[in-house]
């Protein structure tokens, strides 16, 4: 335990925020993934690793969640800290208290805050006012904790990250943005397949491509899903309609239907391809039930890895 604590301190990440993957150097992402592997192994062996004993971590949600809420809450408890679930509807944020004031106040009680909300700028603002680490639990533009769990899952199922080909199919959303960023930091070949109108954010892709130059990664955008999936190590999809876009559901479904991941696409990719999805899934839209439960799917391992990856992030940032 002392050795583990010393290694966590040596990472030099105490006090940092975790807003996007881009903010972290390739070596830092690698070290966080190594720590996640170590914490996962310790948990499987039943060893205590209460690195955050006596601490408190708040979790603010203005959007719904199953995995993020529960994996954070359980992860905080496994690290020996106290989790506080703060539904934005139940705190003064709902009636207009600003994020700035909230950040100042919560910094006097808590050791870190995880926040899930709409505008990425709100999370940046909270981080500016808070004096404790802020962890992004999903915004309209980024889902970095998901990307860490995804990288851990690829590492486990594909024997590493460098040189692996990950093909994302569907909407160029927050999950796609963070996958491009984590691919860039870890030397993966990320191919994002979308119709032209659903491409990921141009500035985020440009930034990821600049990062990719340091690691040998590539970030490619294409319409041609069928050509892209051949020989892929990973096929990845996410909902066509993200939280906040519900009114566009029918238009999006029509525009993105051809990007569904199903048995036919998996066959085209080949038996080596692993299937990933951040969940929640919408059977019959971006993925079929058969594909989700196929032998190629590692989706539930991926969901589990949220727990381990986020524990590493919290342990390293809170220290």
Shortest distance, position 144 Cβ to ligand NVA, whole Å: 12
- Do the Cβ atoms of 142 and 106 come closer than 8 Å? no
Q: Count residues contacting ligand CP (CB under 6 A)? A: 9
Residues 296 and 25: their CA atoms lie apart, in Å, by 31
Burial 114-140 (b: 16+ CB within 10 A, else e): bbbbeebebbbbbbebbebbbbbbbbb
For residue 243, state whether it binds ligand NVA (rule: CB under 6 A). Answer: yes
Site track for ligand NVA across 261-280, x = CB under 6 A:
-----------------x--
66 binds, among ligand NVA, ligand CP, none (CB under 5 to 8 A by kind): ligand CP
Shortest distance, position 304 Cβ to ligand CP, whole Å: 12
- 34 vs 304, which CB is nearer to ligand NVA? 304
214 binds, among ligand CP, ligand NVA, none (CB under 5 to 8 A by kind): none
Residues 38 and 120: their CA atoms lie apart, in Å, by 31
- 130 vs 193, which CB is nearer to ligand NVA? 193
Q: Count residues contacting ligand NVA (CB under 6 A)? A: 9
239 binds, among ligand NVA, ligand CP, none (CB under 5 to 8 A by kind): ligand NVA
Restricted to residues 46-75, the positions that interact with ligand CP (CB under 6 A) are 65-68
Restricted to residues 263-282, the positions that interact with ligand CP (CB under 6 A) are 278-280
The pair phi, psi for residue 227, each rounded to 5°, is -70, -40
Among 215, 239, 297, 305, binds ligand NVA (CB under 6 A): 239
For residue 174, state whether it binds ligand NVA (rule: CB under 6 A). Answer: yes
For residue 173, state whether it binds ligand NVA (rule: CB under 6 A). Answer: yes
- Tokens standing for residue 67: 């995995």
Residues 247 and 252: their CA atoms lie apart, in Å, by 10
What is the full DSSP assignment across 183-227? HHHHT-EEEEE--GGGPPPHHHHHHHHHHHTTTT-EEEEES-HHH
- 175 vs 191, which CB is nearer to ligand NVA? 175
Q: Which residue has the tokens 């524990």?
A: 311
Coil, strand or helix at 62: coil
- 49 vs 143, which CB is nearer to ligand CP? 143
Question: Any idea of the CA torsion for 129, 205, 159, 268, to the nearest 10 degrees?
Answer: 140
Stretch of 152-160, 168-176, 197-205, 293-301 lying at the interface with ligand NVA (CB under 6 A): 168-176
- Tokens standing for residue 291: 């594909």
Residues with catalytic function = 116, 143, 146, 238, 278, 306
- Do the Cβ atoms of 154 and 166 come closer than 8 Å? yes
Coil, strand or helix at 141: coil
Site track for ligand CP across 132-171, x = CB under 6 A:
------x-------x-------------------------
Among 38, 238, 285, 286, binds ligand NVA (CB under 6 A): 238
Q: Where are the alpha helices (DSSP H) in the chain?
A: 2-10, 26-44, 67-78, 99-106, 120-129, 144-158, 174-186, 202-212, 225-229, 249-256, 263-269, 289-292, 299-318
- Do the Cβ atoms of 104 and 130 come closer than 8 Å? yes
Shortest distance, position 123 Cβ to ligand NVA, whole Å: 14
| Binding site residues, ligand CP, CB under 6 A | 65-68, 138, 146, 278-280
| Binding site residues, ligand NVA, CB under 6 A | 138, 173-175, 238-239, 242-243, 278
């Amino acid at each position: 335990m002392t050795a583990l604590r010393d290694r966590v301190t040596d990472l030099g990440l105490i006090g940092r925020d975790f807003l996007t993957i881009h903010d972290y150097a390739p070596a830092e992402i690698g070290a966080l993934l190594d720590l996640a592997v170590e914490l996962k192994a310790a948990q499987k062996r039943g060893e205590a690793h209460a690195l955050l004993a006596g601490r408190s971590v708040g979790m603010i949600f203005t959007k719904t969640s199953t995995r993020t809420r529960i994996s954070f809450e359980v992860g905080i408890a496994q690290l020996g800290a106290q989790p506080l679930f703060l539904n934005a509807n139940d705190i003064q944020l709902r009636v207009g208290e600003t994020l700035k004031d909230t950040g100042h106040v919560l910094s006097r009680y808590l050791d870190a805050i995880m926040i899930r909300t709409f505008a990425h700028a709100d999370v940046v603002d909270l981080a500016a006012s808070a004096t404790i680490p802020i962890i992004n639990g999903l915004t309209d533009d980024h889902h970095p904790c998901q990307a860490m769990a995804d990288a851990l899952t690829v590492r486990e199922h594909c024997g590493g990250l460098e040189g692996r080909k990950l093909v994302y199919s569907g909407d160029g959303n927050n999950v796609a943005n963070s996958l491009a960023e984590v691919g860039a930091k870890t030397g993966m070949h990320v191919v994002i397949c979308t119709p032209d109108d659903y491409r990921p954010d141009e500035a985020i892709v440009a930034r990821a491509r600049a990062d990719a130059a340091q690691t040998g990664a590539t970030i490619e955008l294409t319409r041609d899903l069928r050509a892209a999936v051949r020989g892929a190590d990973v096929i990845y999809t996410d909902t066509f309609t993200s939280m906040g876009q519900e009114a566009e559901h029918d238009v999006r479904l029509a525009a993105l239907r051809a990007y569904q991941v199903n048995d036919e696409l998996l066959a085209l990719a080949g038996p080596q391809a692993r299937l990933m999805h951040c969940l929640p899934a919408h059977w019959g839209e971006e993925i079929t039930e058969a594909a989700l439960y196929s032998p190629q799917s590692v989706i539930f391992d991926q969901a589990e890895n949220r727990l381990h990856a986020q524990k590493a992030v919290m342990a390293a940032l809170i220290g």
